[in-house]
Structure 1
Amino acid sequence: MSLKKKNILFISGVLILFLSLYWTGTFADSQGGHTGLGHDPALSPNDEKIAFTYFENDHGTLYTAPVEGGKAERLLEPEEGKDDLKPAYSPDGKSLAFLREWDGEEHLHKQLMFYEGGHARPLLDKEEYVPFADFAPDGEHLYFVKNSKYTETYNDRTQPNGFDIYKMNINTGNTEQITDMNSVSISSLQVIEGGEKLMYSTSYETSSIKILDLQSEETKTILPESSDYSEAQSPALSAPRLSPDGKVIAFADVASKTENGTFQYEIFTMNMDGENITQATNVDDYASNPLFFQNSQQLLITVDRNFAGRQPDYEYWIVERDGSNKKEIHIEIPEHETGAP
């Protein structure tokens, strides 16, 4: 065998060995999956606590912690193979709605759950896929987004489709359908104006924000007056949230690109007419999920320091609406204990 052929075989063998080691985890994440904070924390009505998901080796469990940081409390024992995500506080701050997620044989499940007094119970069947939920001001009703069907994709897998907004009485389970959109995508939900209206967003083809008047059933569409602020092909309007006074919408969008073309997301604000668009943060990474404090001019945001990497590296920050006085919330995760919201 020639020296050239031997070199080719050697290089090929090294490459195969490297790829094998990489994908089996030798060169990849040695911990076996994401360990750290989750993407979607919730802020309590009195601005004193946050509820969030903490992952250990890709397994997510709900915790609460003081908003200024410090020791966290775990709310529930983790269920094997399932993650507890997207908590939402009740108006009195004593209970939570959240989503329990796991991968089934045919599709991904997101089951609507209710936490109170140290215990959790399902509000809907496991086959009803719920990506978003928010409490009505009375605390007895819950608005949520739910699919009506699953459509086939590939490899005998299906995905949820036909989304609409529903309202449930938490005590009785009585549920009514609020919209008749049969939408491919509803990408956020917030109960606003004392429960008289809903704000949601859609992200199919183009992103837009909608305001639904529950009495008149009329819908208003909100779009930025100009797309010049965004480096995306069209505005992303991710995770929009309305301020307590109903005057300002905060949202995430593409503010810049790195040299290798990776999008960098920042938090923007605008008024209800889509005007006065202002960039509120400069994290130069990935800022998202803005939440307004009730009693101050601050925002709680989520930052991913490894947005383009294989595993996320989330942090929670508090910033003024103009981006000043930014500070990170440092949370201590204790070992295996339960608490209350």
Structure 2
Amino acid sequence: MKKNKKMRWLIGISLLLLVTSIIYSVFRDRDPYKYYTGLGSELAISPNDEKLAFSYFLDGFEAIYMADPDGGNVTKISKENEGRFHTPRFSSDGKQLLFLSADHEGIQTLMIMNVDGSKSKQISDNDLHIIDAVFSPTGEMIYYIAMPAEDYKKAEGETKEGYDLYMIDRNGEEGRQLTNKDHFTMNDLSISKDGAEVYYSLFDGNIEQIYSYHIEENKEAKVKEGIKGDMYASVFSPDKQFLIYTAVTEESKNSSLFEYELFSKSLETNETKRLTNLKANIQSPVFFHHTNKLAFLVYKNWPNDPAEYQLMTVSINGGEPEFIDLNLPASEKSHWLMKTFDFLLNEKAIAVYYVLLLGSITVSLQRRSGRVFLPALISLGLAVFAFIGSFVIAAIMNPWVGIAVGMVAITLFLCSLLLNLFAFIIKRFVKPI
């Protein structure tokens, strides 16, 4: 009798944990950066090479910081205490910074401020989602990549709108759209030294390549100096003698995890040189303006979230990369309570509680009727139903929702196999009590 009572308690607790986990999983904030403290994904170097600008998360809030090239004199520049501010870009005279501000829906608007953080203001409309921006050489105009905010919120396949190139003056006036291509991806925005061309990378259906937009001719064209193969985070040197980019290494192409290293290509000799061998994911390479040196970020825990970055430099002539130790503020909160909830009530916990619940029912049935395989068979039936339903949902409603349901079906199937094995062991080796 006591054992039956304990089993009922175990079933009840398992059911409560399972239901609570499902409800929590539906409504919880899935932002991996909500408690994060660490570097953001973009950086910039001032025209005189005396300052680095970057974003930094502190307890989930991202702000713009500046530091000396050796990592000293770290200073928070953006004045707002909450929100997400990132992707800083210096003006050519080094007196102003562009940056992006993300709202709670992830929609990003364009901001501008002085390098001391004063006179911060929004200069783009809220109806555009902006992913990158750059000053013109004169500092009067700003070019940026954006798409309609309403379309950004839609799932893939629900809209035909994509990214295009826009321009606006630094006062937030005279804005207009320059291209109408609706690109699926559009990244790595930069501008030529004379301001005649804007560069960006596009996925042309097969590979990622560099394109240019000639401002006076209103014409988009592929840059001939591109690389035969995928290239990412591409940037020209200030004198346009070198093209720097990241690419998947040959040795990692046949592995389960691609590694992205830093490469340089001389546009004079067409010689390509590998600059790093860090066996990681290199991002955001930026040229110093007065030395043959680059700063870049190493995605240390690639491909996990939140991304943990490390700031490094390397010479374009080769040599070992050097680590820059930034004296950044430490986290001020532990967030232990919410982190505990996330750990105990996440998606993986749902599978554990599901198996625990049906496993407890299996033991209970063994004592009562001997039908130990019934919970496993019911679970298998649910898996088959979910698997068939995933195709129906993908065809009728939304492919991404269908994929999600399909993943649930696979999880249910694996749990069912485990429950069948458990039932077999119970049936074969354990005597009913």
CA 1:203–1:58 in 2, change beyond 3 Å: closer, same or farther? farther
- Aligned partner (choices 289, 296, 307) of residue 301 of structure 1: 296
Question: Residue by residue, what CA displacement relative to the aligned partner does 1:9-63 show, whole Å, maximum 9, x if unpaired?
Answer: 89x96xx79x96xx99xxxxx9963211111011111111111111012220111
Q: Which amino acid aligns with 2:288?
A: F
Q: Which amino acid aligns with 2:235?
A: R
CA 1:260–1:103 in 2, change beyond 3 Å: closer, same or farther? farther
CA distance, structure 1, for counterparts of residue 300 and residue 243 of structure 2: 24
CA 1:279–1:77 in 2, change beyond 3 Å: closer, same or farther? same
Question: Residue by residue, what CA displacement relative to the aligned partner does 1:88-109 show, whole Å, maximum 9, x if unpaired?
Answer: 00111111000001233xxx21
Q: Which amino acid aligns with 1:309?
A: N
Aligned-partner SS, 1:38? strand
Question: Residue by residue, what CA displacement relative to the aligned partner does 1:254-313 show, whole Å, maximum 9, x if unpaired?
Answer: 114399611111111224599433221111111111111111111111111111333221
CA 1:137–1:293 in 2, change beyond 3 Å: closer, same or farther? same
Q: Tell me what 1:43 maps to.
A: 45
Q: Tell me what 1:202 maps to.
A: 202
1:175 to partner: Cα distance:
1.5
| Kept in 2: contact 1:33–1:311 (CA 8 A) | no
1:327 to partner: Cα distance:
1.2
Q: Which amino acid aligns with 2:75?
A: E
Greater CA deviation, 143-152 or 298-307?
143-152
Q: Tell me what 2:167 maps to.
A: 167
Greater CA deviation, 168-177 or 145-154?
145-154
Q: Which amino acid aligns with 2:321?
A: K
Q: Tell me what 2:316 maps to.
A: 321
1:212 to partner: Cα distance:
2.3
Larger Rg: 2
Q: Which amino acid aligns with 1:98?
A: F
Q: Tell me what 2:179 maps to.
A: 179
1:207 to partner: Cα distance:
1.0
Q: Tell me what 1:66 maps to.
A: 68
Percent of paired sites with the same residue: 24
CA 1:274–1:134 in 2, change beyond 3 Å: closer, same or farther? farther
CA 1:273–1:324 in 2, change beyond 3 Å: closer, same or farther? closer
Q: Tell me what 1:217 maps to.
A: 218
CA distance, structure 1, for counterparts of residue 308 and residue 163 of structure 2: 30
2:335 is the counterpart of 1:333: no
Q: Which amino acid aligns with 1:38?
A: G
CA 1:31–1:79 in 2, change beyond 3 Å: closer, same or farther? closer
TM-score, normalised with respect to structure 1: 0.80
Greater CA deviation, 47-56 or 115-124?
115-124
CA distance, structure 2, for counterparts of residue 164 and residue 220 of structure 1: 14
Aligned-partner SS, 1:41? strand
1:76 to partner: Cα distance:
2.2
| Superposition map of 1:57-96 within 5 A | 57-80=59-82, 82-96=83-97
1:160 to partner: Cα distance:
9.6
1:216 to partner: Cα distance:
3.1
Q: Tell me what 2:109 maps to.
A: 111
CA 1:214–1:272 in 2, change beyond 3 Å: closer, same or farther? farther
| Superposition map of 1:94-133 within 5 A | 94-104=95-105, 108-116=106-114, 117=116, 118-133=118-133
CA distance, structure 1, for counterparts of residue 268 and residue 221 of structure 2: 10
CA 1:260–1:197 in 2, change beyond 3 Å: closer, same or farther? closer
CA distance, structure 2, for counterparts of residue 174 and residue 276 of structure 1: 42
| Kept in 2: contact 1:129–1:160 (CA 8 A) | no
Q: Which amino acid aligns with 1:252?
A: T
Q: Which amino acid aligns with 2:217?
A: S
1:225 to partner: Cα distance:
5.1
CA distance, structure 1, for counterparts of residue 141 and residue 33 of structure 2: 41
1:122 to partner: Cα distance:
0.3
1:248 to partner: Cα distance:
1.3
CA distance, structure 1, for counterparts of residue 160 and residue 36 of structure 2: 25
2:221 is the counterpart of 1:239: no
Runs of at least 5 residues in structure 1 that lack an aligned partner in the other structure = 25-29, 228-234, 337-341
Once superposed, what is the RMSD of the aligned Cα atoms? 3.6
Q: Tell me what 1:251 maps to.
A: 245
| Kept in 1: contact 2:209–2:227 (CA 8 A) | no
1:158 to partner: Cα distance:
8.0
Greater percentage in helix: 2
CA distance, structure 1, for counterparts of residue 279 and residue 67 of structure 2: 27
Greater percentage in strand: 1
| Kept in 2: contact 1:101–1:110 (CA 8 A) | yes
